[in-house]
Amino acid sequence: MIQLAWPWALTLLAFPFLIRFLLPATTTVQDAALYVPFIEPFRTGSTTGKAGNQKRLSLIFLASFIWCCLVIASARPQWLGEPIEIPASGRDLMLAVDLSGSMRIEDFEIKNHQVNRLYATKYVVDDFIQQRKGDRLGLILFGEQAYLQTPLTFDLITVQTLLREAMIGIAGDSTAIGDAIGLAIKRLQDKDKDSRVLILLTDGQNTAGEVEPLKAAELAAEQGLKIYSIGIGADEIIRRSIFGSQRINPSAELDEKTLRAIADTTGGRYFRARDTEELKKIYQLLDELEPTEQEQHSFRPVLSLYYWPLGLAFILTLLAALLYIRKAKI
């Protein structure tokens, strides 16, 4: 259907008529001393016959039609499409990603290429975000301090973009797990208790921040915030040197005990991601959550149509001007 965004603009249709009847008419002043190099215009202007009246009426009609087109364009006609339902699960998900210095360790493999932990996280979580249709998603980046990068939003493209642009060390080289949980609690405290979820991805232990992780987990449990913690990092990598091959554990500093306790305290689960395939278990997190029922949202696509009457008015004005110039030359 077609509607007008500013229907009150149609009152301008009567503006020329108000000017015509309210303002005094101009008087014709004749000057006998006026020099006229040609007489034909006066003959045309003095014509009072049928042809002269038709010409005058045609000009009035053309000017009125142009004015109507301009007024209709100013009223902003729009085409309203059919209502489109927007799926809304009611879940509020906050994603907290570790950007500490240890995320530089290259112990993950993607398409036969060694990559660091943050790159692997971005690779997997990027697809995870795309599947969150109907969920509101937020992003927290933390290192020595925790920062809210994106508040809860349905705009998944923005969340993806900001995560892709995240760099290791921009929040410090230490790890403030407790502060990240505390920030998530603050941002989710006004939301439905049955839909608050924090997905925490880290590869280390709490070495910075003002809040102890377990204390933060207890507060999260009181607030109804469920935490799914994910410890990432390989158990073993082989480093070759001039002295031979050496097997080392790059995840020696991963505090699995604390991460598991955080998840258990809040009613969530702990996952261990040693490689890219295990990291893809993130996809399974949402399948285990029961979405809260929420009213369906819908919107109607709007297509602006103002340029049609505006373009018609412009073309008619241009044609009228060309005809007037042509007649003046004749």
Convert the pLDDT of each residue in 234-269 to its tens digit. Answer: 776 666 656 556 666 667 778 889 999 999 999 998
Q: What is the pLDDT of residue 42?
A: 44
Based on the fold, state whether residues 62 and 100 are members of the same structural domain. Answer: no
Based on the fold, state whether residues 7 and 115 are members of the same structural domain. Answer: no
Mean pLDDT to the nearest integer, 4-31: 78
Based on the fold, state whether residues 277 and 304 are members of the same structural domain. Answer: no
Distances (CA, A) of 87 to 193, 203, 292, 294, 297: 20, 34, 12, 9, 7
Q: Is the pTM of the predicted complex or chain greater than 0.85?
A: no
**173 within a domain of the structure (yes/no):** yes
Q: Which has the minimum average pLDDT: 30-34, 139-143, 199-203, 237-241?
A: 30-34
213: left (phi over 0), alpha (psi -120 to 50) or beta: alpha
**How many structural domains compose the chain?**
2
pLDDT confidence tier of residue 181, bands split at 50, 70 and 90: very high
12: left (phi over 0), alpha (psi -120 to 50) or beta: alpha
**248 within a domain of the structure (yes/no):** yes
Range of the domain at 162: 87-288
Based on the fold, state whether residues 71 and 143 are members of the same structural domain. Answer: no
Mean pLDDT to the nearest integer, 17-22: 80
Q: What is the pLDDT of residue 330?
A: 56
Based on the fold, state whether residues 312 and 230 are members of the same structural domain. Answer: no
Report the length, in residues, of the chain: 330
pLDDT confidence tier of residue 150, bands split at 50, 70 and 90: very high
